[in-house]
Structure 1
Amino acid sequence: MEMANEFPDATITGIDMSAVFPTTIIPDNCQFIQHNILKPLPFPDNTFDFVYQRLLILGLTPAEWVQVVKELERVAKPGGWIELVEADGQGGNNGPYSAKIWRWLEQALWTLGVNIRITQDPGLVTILKEANIVNIHQDVVKLPTGDHGGKVGKLLQENEQSFWSAIAPMVIHGANVDKEDYDEAVRMAEIEVEEYKSYHIFYVATGQKRECPSPSVE
């Protein structure tokens, strides 16, 4: 909605597998579609000038990453841009409780075939290359988490705490963690971000769909 307001001449389409969309005060140039990204996108080839995806690191297996990014490339116009924004799945300057939660999360997701470190191995740049995307550039951004990071840092901390709570059942069962131990770790993690000056690491990888198909090799 912010993009739609900032760029009134553009048509913005938002997609999520859950019906979490706003229902009032939606700009005329903005629409929302409920759709699972693991299924083919409901758009013809070469539809969008810009395709943007973020924060699916916990939801896709390595094979699904390749599948999904190739689909993003399909719906982008020749010469259009694709951008991926992902957290690194572990953060930086973690205190002992935050580090413990990240470790438990990694263990739980591994049982589901999800690699939480995919931003480094194989990395978003490699995944974009596998989708035949060119002119790739990646930035790595460190955002402080907590009061020491100002308004953004405080919002990140609130999001992190909500995230820890939302994934509690998955982590407790997937990593075989005692609920009381998990709850205690979440409580202490909220406190220790200031002591350790914790931060989140985000990878922003951008690339361009080829203007014309690659020449065939005979």
Structure 2
Amino acid sequence: MNDESSQRYYASKQYLLPADNVETKRLDAQHDMITNVFEGRLSTAPTTLITGDRVLESAAGSGIWALEFFEKNCADGIILDIECIDISSAQFPTTHPPQIHFSVNSVVDLPNPEWSDTFAYAHQRLLVAAMNDSLWRSAVSELFRVIRPDGWVELVEIEAQDFSSWSVGPNSTKLASLINAMYGAKGVIGDLSVYLPAILKEAGFTDVKCDKRRASIGGEVDATPHKVTDVQGYNSGMWRELWMGMKGPVVEAGGYGIVETVQEYEALVESSTVEWKASKEAYTTFFAILAHKGEM
């Protein structure tokens, strides 16, 4: 199962999504949607940041969250020092304020001892497709080390276990089976709303909370309101691009016994898109998981 047209730039064998210009556009559109799902808030953490505080953004991608978070705080007279990290520099912006720093680093192995007890707040979004149990535990341990006493961590993730919420027809159900097979083979942890709070507490964090929000998928065939939520989520095209981005790992693994060719996978995603577009019931769930590092 091979096709040059399926090739995109992937920064890691572990991470199932690409790191290229197409993915940057998808992530930036998704950023706006997630912010909307959380009522326009870039953060739900109960932080009281002041000028000079250091903030960490893990899995920064294009840095869109950090850029907006910096500007929002600037508008309130607060000038932050923001460190943005990712495993690849491919999506980093070419221009940004001097108080925002971009570097190639992984959350599972942060600079030590330079960053220990340094950050007032750390934000990380959507690493579900990059992590297994061992990596999550390393990441949480590292976040605990680099957060200063009385600081906060916010991990924003998406439902990755129960795909029945967007399995709204035979094609999307088949695609969900394929994604489940791939996640199982890669050791992806599905129910992060239960898993992450548990390991955050094990690492020493306190005041662990999980804020769940539904986001609709598709349903744009006519003007009838979506049955699940009034909050605008993914349109069918945005949700399509997510799964098209995983074509590379699916192809490399041979289709997991569900598809046999690149064209068959593409056709499956396209047929699923038709189902999402017509459905008024498809949705996914986001989790904002907060954790506090108490005074030492």
* Shorter-chain TM-score tier: 0.7 to 0.9
Deviation, structure 1 residue 61: 0.7
- Kindly provide the amino acid, as one letter, of the partner of residue 184 in structure 1: A
Higher strand share: 1
Unaligned runs of 5+ in 1: 213-218
Distance 1:99 1:127 in 2: 31
What SS does the aligned partner of 1:38 have?
A: coil
Query: In the alignment, is residue 133 of structure 1 matched against residue 215 of structure 2?
Result: no
Percent of matched pairs sharing the same residue: 26
Alpha-carbon distance, 1:203 to partner: 1.1
Amino acid in structure 2 at the alignment position of 1:30 = I
- Following the alignment from structure 2 to structure 1, what is the Cα–Cα distance between the partners of residues 72 and 139? 28
* 2-structure distance, mates of 1:65, 1:141: 22
1:32 aligns with 2:108: no
Cα distance between partner residues in 1 of 2:99 and 2:231: 29
1:3 aligns with 2:74: no
Aligned mates of 1:211, 1:99 — CA distance in 2: 48
Cα distance, 1:23 vs structure 2: 0.3
Separation (CA, whole Å) in 1 of partners of 2:238 and 2:203: 31
How far off is 1:152 after superposition?
4.5
Other-structure match for 2:195: 123
Matched, 1:98 2:172: yes
Distance 1:45 1:169 in 2: 37
Counterpart check, 1:211 vs 2:295: yes
Aligned residues: 208
CA RMSD of aligned residues (A): 2.2
Q: Is there any run of 5+ residues in structure 2 with no aligned partner, and where?
A: 1-66, 221-225
1:216 match:
none
Q: Aligned letter for 1:36?
A: S
Does residue 1:61 correspond to 2:61, yes or no? no
Shift, 1:190, TM fit: 1.4
Residue identity in the other structure for 1:170: P
Q: Aligned pair 1:88/2:162, yes or no? A: no
C-alpha separation between the residues in 2 aligned to 1:158 and 1:130? 39
Residue by residue over 1:160-185, the C-alpha shift from the partner in whole angstroms, topping out at 9 and shown as x without a partner, is 32221121131244313222332222
Three-state SS of the structure 2 residue aligned to 1:50 is strand
**In the alignment, which residue of structure 1 is the partner of 2:4?**
none
**Contact conserved, 1:69 with 1:128, CA < 8 A, in 2?**
yes
Residue 86 (structure 2) aligns with: 16
Q: Equivalents in 2 of 1:151, 1:140: separation in Å?
A: 13
Q: Which residue of 2 aligns with 1:188?
A: 271
The 1:5–1:158 alpha-carbon spacing in structure 2 relative to 1, beyond 3 Å, is farther
Deviation larger for 87-96 or 129-138? 87-96
Residue 77 of structure 1 deviates from its aligned partner by: 0.8
Cα gap change, 1:158/1:151 in structure 2, threshold over 3 Å: closer, same or farther? farther
Q: Give the residue type in structure 2 aligned to 1:169.
A: G
Query: Displacement of 1:150 after TM fit?
Result: 8.2
1:199 aligned residue: 283
- Using the size of structure 2 for normalisation, the TM-score is 0.64
